[in-house]
Structure 1
Amino acid sequence: MRISNWMTLPAGVTAALLFSSLAVAATAALPKPEIVRDAVPAQAPGQAHTLRTIPEACARLEGMFTGASAQPYRFAAVRTSPNCQPRARFVDAAEAAPSVQDGWKLNDLLRVPNAACPGQQAVVQVWRKPVNVAPPKLDAQGRARLYLDEAKQAAAANRTPNVPMYAAVMAVEGAGCG
């Protein structure tokens, strides 16, 4: 089964994430996540499953245990709808290098057990970088208006407003079976 390729991480990046020092090897040193949730049910190999939906980024995190020892878990950010207008960006964690020191917050920590191999689990850290967003200025009629021409000029001058960002770091813990 193929996971959608919208915002899919390249194989090299995925492999780097698996063995990254940012990855979950230092889980004990992580701050408490903003979202605390129950354990994720065990997932069977070959079955794609949704880990988390991030509506403001128009993305959902989708994963799948592959059964392969080289890459036991495949992970991707998938666009939720072609009509969705994102209010946040989902960025590559390898480039963003999310950390508390850089203003990122650990938003969610998901542990996904492998149903076929009880000693193995995928661990996904979802990081969020908030920004202070001021509402648009009110015009003479007391309304907040956005004009396309002004937005185009700001984009051309590289003055686009900051938006919140999300990044996800994935690692596999435990020994593989078989």
Structure 2
Amino acid sequence: MLAVALGARATGPTPEIERPVAPPQETGVVHSLRTIPEACARIEGAFTGDAAEPYRFAVVRTSANCQPRARFVDAAKADPDTTKGWIFNDLIRVPSAACPRRQAVVRVWRKPAASAPPDLDAQGRSRIYLQDSRQAAGSAMNRVPMFAAVMTVEGEACR
């Protein structure tokens, strides 16, 4: 059992959300993978049947009236990694109905907001200075929780 546990650890971090493999999906049918209410976003995907791009996924807004409390960012630019403060949130596996050996794997990462009150000064007061607030404005992205999704296709292609 120890060898199995070590093998699972070698593949990467364990996601916060444990979920079973999704039901197989038909080619060309758009399906919802996950909804993230705090970002007012839904991840949708579809098998394309194209060898160059076998699976396509997109992040769409859930409602025009929704007020997001988090941001969904491009994973290529954000480069989510546990060493950079990101948390491996969810692992979604979707097999193809036309080719059961092939499955789309979506990894969802989240980065919590870094919100802390300013440090106390020598007089025991929490003060905000103009110069410090200008520097903090440049890092405003750290004040809002962020989500990112990375998609890969695993398994052998069917002929």
State the TM bucket, normalised to the shorter chain: 0.7 to 0.9
Give a deviation string over 1:14-59, Cα, whole Å, max 9, x none: xxxxxxxxxxxxx953211011112211111100000000000000
1:1-178 matched pairs, under 5 angstroms: 28-133=10-115, 160=140, 162-178=143-159
TM-score norm. by structure 2 comes to 0.77
TM-score, L = length of structure 1 = 0.69
| Structure having the higher Rg | 2
What is the alpha-carbon root mean square deviation over aligned residues?
1.9
How many residues are aligned here?
A: 132
Q: Percent identical across equivalent pairs?
A: 64
Larger relative contact order (Cα-Cα within 8 Å, sequence gap ≥ 6): 1
Distance (whole Å) between structure 2 residues aligned to residue 32 and residue 159 of structure 1 = 29
SS in 1 for 2:76: helix
Relative to structure 1, the CA distance from residue 44 to residue 35 in structure 2 (aligned partners, 3 Å threshold; closer, same or farther) is same
Residue ranges of structure 1 left out of the alignment (5+ in a row)? 1-26, 136-153
Q: Which amino acid aligns with 2:47?
A: F
String of CA shifts for 1:129-169, please: whole Å, max 9, x gaps. Answer: 0124369xxxxxxxxxxxxxxxxxx9xx6574710000000
Structure 2 CA distance for partners of 1:47 and 1:132, relative to 1, 3 Å: same
Instruction: Determine the C-alpha separation between the residues in 2 that align with 1:174 and 1:39.
Output: 14
Q: Distance in 2 between matches of 1:159 and 1:30?
A: 29
Question: Would you identify which runs of 4 or more consecutive aligned residues in structure 1 move more than 6 Å?
Answer: none
Structure 2 unmatched runs, 5+ = 1-8, 118-133
